[in-house]
Amino acid sequence: MLFSKFKFIAFIEMVRILTKANVAELLNMADALEYVEEAYKQLTLGNVFVPQRIAIIDPAP
Does a structural domain hold residue 59? no
Does a structural domain hold residue 17? yes
Q: What is the 3-state secondary structure (H, E, C) of 4-44?
A: HHCCCCCCCCCCCCCCHHHHHHHCCHHHHHHHHHHHHHHHH
Does a structural domain hold residue 29? yes
Exposure string over 30-57, b if 16+ CB within 10 A, otherwise e:
eeeeeeeeeeeeeeeeeeeeeeeeeeee
Q: Are 37 and 4 a contacting pair, CB within 8 Å?
A: no
Does a structural domain hold residue 8? no
Does a structural domain hold residue 52? no
How many structural domains are present in the chain? Answer: 1
Does a structural domain hold residue 61? no
Range of the domain at 23: 13-44
pTM value is: 0.51
- Position 55 confidence tier, pLDDT thresholds 50, 70, 90: confident
Q: Are 55 and 20 a contacting pair, CB within 8 Å?
A: no
Tell me the per-residue pLDDT of 18-45, one tens digit each, with 9 for 90 and over: 899 998 898 899 999 999 999 999 999 9
